[in-house]
Structure 1
Amino acid sequence: KQKEIRQVDEKWVDTLLNNPKIVGTKGKLGRNNAIYTLSLAYYASGIDQDECFDVMDEFNSNLKMPLKNQDVVRTVKSAYSGRFPGANKEKVLILLENWGSESLSEDQLFTQKFNGWYKHKKDRSERKRSHVGEWKADILEYLEAQCYRYRPEIELTKSELQAAVQYQDKPIPKRSLDKALNELKAEGKIYVEVKAGRGGGLVVATRKALIRTVIVVNQHVKKAYKNAIRTFFKEAAILTKMLETPETGKKIGLFGEQTNLWDTG
């Protein structure tokens, strides 16, 4: 029977676990990354999360400058989230190089000959460009912060929106903004109306803000609010229709009909 190949059986795992000098240094992979990478190796090897935590807790306790217990718990839990299927060889080599293991060759550190290494996508902070999905999340976060309880729509120009949505002090590129807005509209997560002419711009509301306002507005302002939605957002007619649902008869009501809209992303 062929021997089972496990990342945790590699020499580099013991090399890192037995190095108490690893610390946290700005711009250098340190304690958190070591625990995360080691935990990924345990995860890929099918080892129980509790057992992994016991090993990482002991490793952390032996460090000259250990992390707080909650940081170790959070890091192990993140490694076992399933986001990555195992440790990344590139990160392993950087950790080994940073913390005094240059004397060991790759053949000594990686004794099992297999192609089970996993290439992890770079974090956003490590990339020059953000993905459209990340910009979409930024746009939704900004709009949610601007949408008031009784006035979920906001008016602004596209330039103002572009300047407001930033990551690391850099505004969203115009092409990324257009693409993100079009995708969010197609997904039904935002409603956008273009106001033409001088002094024009955009009227924007998130689906989440519209639903929230429909629920909380007082009965005597619902008619006016319903008309406002129809005026600004023709696509939002389904929300105004929910207001007209009879309270008697089928006990569906506003909450029942909107259930499928609550996954607002």
Structure 2
Amino acid sequence: MGFLPTIIMKTPGGYQVYFVLDKPVFITAKSNFKAIEIAKKVSNQLRKSLGETLRVDTKCNHFGIFRFPQKSNIVFFEKSYLCNFATLINWSMKKEDSPKKTKMKLVKSFKQVDEPWFNLLLNESDIKGEKGTMGRNNVVLTLSLAMYASGRSKENCLYNLTEFNYRLENPLSDNELERTVNSAYSGKYKGASKAFITTLCTEWVNRDLKSSDLFSTTGWYKFAKPREERVRSHYEEWVEDLEQLINDKTNVNQPFLRIKRQELIDRLGIANSSLTALFKRLKATNKINVQTIRGRNGGVILALVKNILINQIKNHHKQAKKALQEYLGINLDTLKNVNQSKNDYQEITLDTG
């Protein structure tokens, strides 16, 4: 790669590699915390490059808890091997722009609706929407994406999936079905995910199904990865969706939204485990407040932090005004009226004799 790590450490689960910067990178609100996003991109590129020849954990947290270096676990250390952040950024950009090698065979004329899996899912009626599982919402979204990628019209898709939905023992509401189809045709996705298709078919059709039973041997579309599979941007997109949902349902006077976890999973089109990871990331951003309530009548309480702060300021102002009025024994609004009408008074001279 043109540079070496500063420290290599041995742990019970493998090796950890440290690239120590020669100078700290300062993170400021003024730059909208841009350095964090840049550091993540560099981190992703480091993992990819190391992963070309080594087995690398590409999904680990960028800024998580790390093992502290000690004499007992350091297997390599060279204090002069420091990295310049600007150099790392340039290296990362060049790697990103370099031609991508792929062994995937592209079949431009092939349509996802012609794959065996499509009819297997479309004709299955025993699909539920259970908590913690990929159920009917995911199936509807996947089938819709396949039709979208295959050039079917939204009207045709909605017609076919309405029939499919009515065959389910526990169907979605018409509004939820239409919302999911609209999401598939929003342009955010390019096509159905092969990993999702495999999971859904083995979950609801037959656990013994193999890849050869689901997919044609002639090839597979190389789509831009759907949000569920992307490492770089899917969390940011889910955060945007979450912000939009909170904005639609709350305001400064009523900043809190209470919602069932499963309803939130369905609305965002997100897996349960991904939602948990998203909540952990949100705690560090101080942008969206998340409170989880356990129990039968539990759920999630969401709010934009800015709305909470504005609401608190307004309430404190009202409380302070009320306390001052009680102390003075007057209505402060009358003082405002007096100030506005001061030009109505005449100046007079008193004769004191």
Superposition TM-score, scaled by structure 2 size: 0.37
Larger % of helix: which? 1
TM-score (norm 1): 0.48
